[in-house]
Structure 1
Amino acid sequence: MPVIDITDLSDPRLADFTRANDVALKKARGTGHGLYIAESALVLERGLRAGHRPRSVLALGGTVHEAVALVGDDVPVFSGPGELLAELTGYALHRGLIASVHRPPLPAPEQLLAAARRVVILENVVAPTNVGAIFRSVAGIGADAVLITPRCSDPFYRRAIRVSMGTVLQVPWTRVGDWASTRELLTASGFHLAALALTDDAVSLREFAPPERLALVLGTEGDGLTPDAIAAADTVVQIPMRHGIDSLNVAAAAAVAMWAVGE
């Protein structure tokens, strides 16, 4: 398929890029599970390595050949001057290209837990930037999978993908239900659940001896974990702090906790 020069911004084939928000992309027509936006060749390449299927690419002139090399001849690559593409999308393509990519179906939690030894659970973390930063730490410091609760921000949101440097496309993740069913699932899979929270009986991470299979749960910004999450935990742990500070940003706390319980 030849590279397509953009001459008409109303071309329906460009609909994926015309200021579509994350919610609209998730409901995009002609897809099984919606779309996500991959910004930059690096992020697109990580999605391709994960087996994700691009629907189209929007590229500045200097990155057209790179885009074609990544997606092949069967995926349309649209191109045009930077000013025109910025008018189309609502922002400048500083990273050269963006791609609309089909969201893959989410795996069953049992499937992820079967081969995992370290799991991170995010309860109601609402900021996509925090979700993305946590995924980047998961990929770099080490955990086998991420489970997210129903009210947690979607890791496939554009900002989460961007902040994670595309690692949300590499780290296995899926959604879970309420705490009763999640606790049952973790027990059946042999996981010890450690909740990161400030309670009177919390154990310092310095003193916590992580078991063979560990699920570490972190809560929403500000309020932290819900009472149901704490009640479901086998152990409550906390990061030892200094200078009268009692907590860290959830993304920073996740990185510290993963390092502390790492192998």
Structure 2
Amino acid sequence: MPYIEVDNLDDPRLDAYARLTEAQLRNRLEPEKGIFIAESIKVIERALAGGMQPVSVLMTPEWLESAASTVDAIEKAAPEEGGIPIFVAPENELKKLTGFALTRGILCAMRRPVLPSVEELLDRVDEERQRKAQACGIPDDGRRRVAVLEGIVDHTNVGAIFRSAAALGVDAVLVTPTCCDPLYRRAVRVSMGTVFQVPWTRIGESVRDWPAAGLARLEALGYKTAALALSDDSIALGDEGLAACEKLALIFGTEGDGLSRKTIEGCNYTVRIPMMHGVDSLNVAAASAVTFWELCR
């Protein structure tokens, strides 16, 4: 498909990139029309591999050659016959976009996926683990590890947690109603596209759905729940009983305040990471990486 040259970002066809807020992109009233923005070749390619549907592309002339194979893959994944618009704008114009210097020359607007229910998602996790075990000729050991993000509002932390989850073998991520959107532009960028590799969904749509109702859903699915929190009755991360749990949901709290009291009281375990030199806690992204390394091996 021929490229569409635009002189500046005032073109209304570029609203998704230049003017719409993240809330408008998400389109809560009509979720099927919601979109998100993927930045850089690697992130876009991971999004395509994860089945995301492209809507349009915005790039600079300097990247036409190096991004040619990625653009070709985007056009092949386009749901409409005849491809999608590929806009080309001067680099000095794209630099007006916040964070464009980190995008490496190409942006892609993509359709937001329809999220499955928690039950559907964890059923898929079971099927995938069983399939992989069968392919390897070994029995499925039944071990499942999911991460639950309660009220984490920093998009950088959410992106970093997804990247650790992908790298260290977490089966799925569940985000509570008060957690920020994993498809927010910065979260996607920081995750390096791993948000499209790790299965995830929301556990509830409103604050009434968490923690009591959400913890009950996990229990019904056979999961033990572990709250990562500082508490007098907490157990150490290396506890053998914790590691022996077949299905375990690891719950991480918001920056600063951590998990709510109701969440901690409703969990089967309260878990702490042993510290030295008087340090009381780690940043939630760092804490998640340590926890995944210990319990997801």
TM-score w.r.t. length of structure 1: 0.93
Cα gap change, 1:84 to 1:259, in 2 (>3 Å): same
**Contact between 2:224 and 2:247, CA under 8 Å: does it hold in 1?**
yes
Per the TM alignment, residue 69 of structure 1 is displaced from its structure 2 partner at its CA by: 1.6
Partner SS for 2:288: helix
Deviation sequence 1:14-47 (CA, Å, 0-9, x none): 1111143311211299971411110001111111
Structure 2: runs of 5+ lacking an equivalent: 76-81, 127-143, 204-208
**Contact between 2:8 and 2:89, CA under 8 Å: does it hold in 1?**
no
Q: If each structure's helix is expressed as a fraction of its own residues, which one has the higher value? A: 2
Give the residue type in structure 2 aligned to 1:58. Answer: L
Q: Does 1:85 align with 2:97?
A: no
Structure 1: runs of 5+ lacking an equivalent: none
Q: Equivalent residue for 1:55?
A: 55
In 1, Cα distance between equivalents of 2:122 and 2:35: 26
From 191, 197, 200, give the equivalent of 1:164. 191
Which moves more between the two structures, 46-55 or 26-35? 26-35
Q: Equivalent residue for 2:213?
A: 181
Q: Does 1:242 align with 2:276?
A: yes
Which moves more between the two structures, 185-194 or 58-67? 58-67
Q: Equivalent residue for 1:206?
A: 238
**Contact between 1:128 and 1:155, CA under 8 Å: does it hold in 2?**
yes
In 1, Cα distance between equivalents of 2:246 and 2:25: 39
From 213, 220, 224, give the equivalent of 2:254. 220
In 2, Cα distance between equivalents of 1:108 and 1:31: 15
In 2, Cα distance between equivalents of 1:29 and 1:38: 22
In 1, Cα distance between equivalents of 2:280 and 2:240: 18
Give the residue type in structure 1 aligned to 2:285. Answer: A
Q: Which runs of 4+ in 1 moved over 4 A?
A: 28-31
From 126, 130, 142, give the equivalent of 2:153. 126
Partner SS for 2:218: helix
Which moves more between the two structures, 63-72 or 194-203? 63-72
**Contact between 1:60 and 1:93, CA under 8 Å: does it hold in 2?**
no
**Contact between 1:118 and 1:213, CA under 8 Å: does it hold in 2?**
yes
In 2, Cα distance between equivalents of 1:14 and 1:168: 24
Counterparts of 1:7-46 in structure 2, within 5 Å, are: 7=7, 9-27=9-27, 32-46=32-46
Q: Equivalent residue for 1:197?
A: 229
Per the TM alignment, residue 260 of structure 1 is displaced from its structure 2 partner at its CA by: 1.0
Which moves more between the two structures, 140-149 or 73-82? 73-82
Partner SS for 1:187: helix
Q: Equivalent residue for 2:263?
A: 229
Q: Equivalent residue for 1:99?
A: 108
Which moves more between the two structures, 248-257 or 74-83? 74-83
Give the residue type in structure 2 aligned to 1:156. Answer: L
In 2, Cα distance between equivalents of 1:101 and 1:213: 33
In 2, Cα distance between equivalents of 1:208 and 1:59: 51
**Contact between 1:120 and 1:147, CA under 8 Å: does it hold in 2?**
yes
Query: How many pairs align?
Result: 262
Give the residue type in structure 2 aligned to 1:147. Answer: L
Which moves more between the two structures, 22-31 or 115-124? 22-31
**Contact between 2:8 and 2:90, CA under 8 Å: does it hold in 1?**
no
Per the TM alignment, residue 8 of structure 1 is displaced from its structure 2 partner at its CA by: 5.4
Q: Equivalent residue for 2:206?
A: none
Partner SS for 2:285: helix
Q: Does 1:261 align with 2:295?
A: yes
Q: Does 1:68 align with 2:71?
A: yes
Per the TM alignment, residue 164 of structure 1 is displaced from its structure 2 partner at its CA by: 0.5
Partner SS for 1:216: strand
In 2, Cα distance between equivalents of 1:237 and 1:39: 36
Per the TM alignment, residue 90 of structure 1 is displaced from its structure 2 partner at its CA by: 4.8
In 2, Cα distance between equivalents of 1:194 and 1:125: 17
